[in-house]
Amino acid sequence: MFDIKKKFPDGFLWGGATAANQLEGAWDKGGKGPSIADTLPGGKERFAIANSQKFDWKLDSKEYTYPNHRGIDYYYRFKEDIKLFAEMGFKCYRFSIAWSRIFPQGDEEIPNEAGLRFYDRLIDECLKYDIEPVITISHYELPLNLAKSYGGWKNRDLIKFYERFAHVVLERYHSKVRYWMTFNEINSAFHFPVMSQGLVPSSGANDFTNIVQSWHNQFVASALAVKIGHELDEHLQIGCMILYATSYAYDANPINQYANLKQMQDFNFFCADVQVRGKYPQTTARMLKEHDVDPTALEITDKDLELITQNTVDYIGFSYYMSRVTDVTSEHGEGVSGNLIGGVANPFLKSSDWGWQIDPKGLQIALNELYDRYQKPLFIVENGLGAKDIVEKDGAIHDDYRIGYLKQHIEAMRGAIADGVNLMGYTPWGCIDLVSASTGEMSKRYGFIYVDLDDEGKGTLDRSRKDSFYWYKKVIESNGEEL
């Protein structure tokens, strides 16, 4: 009865993850409308530019490049790429449906049939190889018109547009696709509201009231998608998706411990609490007060709350790249340069070339924390190392650093399973090199498959297998035994 589980369960979902805006390209083909991602320039300043007062959603300018326009040309090459996923033995493949391929402006009544036909073909291609599709309905790719003309997610109208979009794709694909997620990294608006809520300074991104209102609207929209999905088929598995970063207090100083507790409650748990437990956590009032949000300024109806309560998610999808450290006593004050979500440097950890602190044990902790709290199946739908790769003269790519990173994280997963955690699957991020979300670079590579394309958009776009490709194939073949 109390046997320790030493192995990954049978049917464990090994695979990989991508998002439409970061790889499809063909940004204005097949009737697709522009999305917010199509306005983001390439380069490390991407977020700083989007967060500046001057930013005005341009799709073209002499000053910048727009790498998401071309992605890695996947729209035209997906068959070749899925064949490579199949060669690695993928059991599942997580991807998103570009909202503006289906509703080019976001507010139309009738979907764009050409866009749907693309995903018909993509899904059928996965099924041809027995790869289970895992779909993110919305992954940082809001139709641009909904950001420009409606002001992003703070506007309640977006609930009905999302509902329409979710209805169309769930209805069309529910018989072929069992696993869904409603919003990618919904909590990430704490740090980059432009991506997850379509909010920039000119539409109120600097006012936390707008961020909270956007979250509420997204919670309602997410609950509606869960409702639609379960009405179509009660067996559909519809999850939330959060950006999880294990957070440590810098030291045993109770002041830091308490600040860290609040960091956990707000960043890691607030959104998941609503989507998993079906109600706002008791910490909400405190969090709003600390961000100067007047609760009476929020539009939240009883009907909304009922919908949220009645339509909770089936599993918890989350991304895990790094941990963070809280120190409010300012004695160790240096931030981690590039660590996406801030914090001070952890002296026990190394960082990636982009400054993200690498912490496999933190993943084991995350899995325990999430399972302790929610008792729902967990799905790691993003994890990986963004790194520069070198192509040898013979074409080989010896990415032992990536193998090392993934291996340690898979060991941590095995540890968490032995701790009693119910883990459904693992889809490392960017299983094929794609455009980085935070920097728009190609040189920040995560893939098992190399794509010949550089930061200036030059290259043949040819695909090739890295050492990690062969390694991951063995991991899957042995169900995680051979690392």
Q: If phi over 0 gives left and psi between -120 and 50 gives alpha, with beta otherwise, what is residue 278?
A: left
CB of 243 to ligand BG6, least distance (A): 6
The amino acid at residue 219 is F
CB 441 within 8 A of CB 435: yes
Say how far apart CA 438 and CA 269 lie, in whole Å.
23
CA 289-290-294 angle, 5° bins:
30
DSSP state of 59: S
- Which residues lie closer than 8 Å to 429 by C-beta, 6 or more apart? 16, 17, 319, 321, 382, 383, 384, 446
* Closest distance of CB 339 from ligand BG6, Å: 12
Two structure tokens written together for 275? 């989507």
Shorter beta-carbon distance to ligand BG6: residue 266 or 382: 382
Q: Judged by CB, which is closer to ligand BG6: 145, or 188?
A: 188
CB-count exposure of residue 387 (10 Å: 0-12, 13-18, 19+)? middle
Amino acid identity for residue 363 in this structure: L
b/e per residue, 240-260, with b = 16+ CB within 10 A? Answer: bbbbbbbbbbbeeeeebeebb
- Interface residues with ligand BG6 (CB under 6 A) are 19, 22, 140, 184-185, 243, 319, 382, 386, 429, 436-439, 444
| Cβ–Cβ < 8 Å for 112, 32 | yes
What's the min distance (Å) between Cβ of 46 and ligand BG6? Answer: 9
Question: CB of residue 185 vs ligand BG6: minimum separation in angstroms?
Answer: 5
Please identify, using beta-carbon distances, which residue of 94 and 174 lies nearer to ligand BG6: 94
Which amino acids are annotated catalytic? 185, 382
Pair of tokens at residue 204: 């109120």
User: Minimum distance from CB of 352 to ligand BG6 (Å)?
Assistant: 9
Inter-residue contact 103 to 110 (CB < 8 Å): no
Smallest gap from residue 262 Cβ to ligand BG6 (A):
22
Q: Which of residues 41 and 278 has its CB atom nearest to ligand BG6 in the complex?
A: 41
Residue with smaller CB distance to ligand BG6, 90 or 446: 446
User: b vs e for 110-143, b when ≥16 Cβ sit within 10 Å of the residue's Cβ?
Assistant: ebbeebbebbeebbebbeeeebbbbbbbbbbbbb
Contacts of range 251-255, beta carbons closer than 8 Å, 24 or more positions apart: 251/327, 253/329, 255/328, 255/329
Residue placing its CB nearer to ligand BG6 in the complex, 125 or 185: 185
- The residue number whose beta carbon is nearest to ligand BG6 equals 438
Tokens at residue 338, please?
């590039």
- Least distance from C-beta 268 to ligand BG6, angstroms? 14
Are 144 and 102 within 8 A, CB to CB?
A: no
Closer CB to ligand BG6, 327 or 433, in the complex: 433
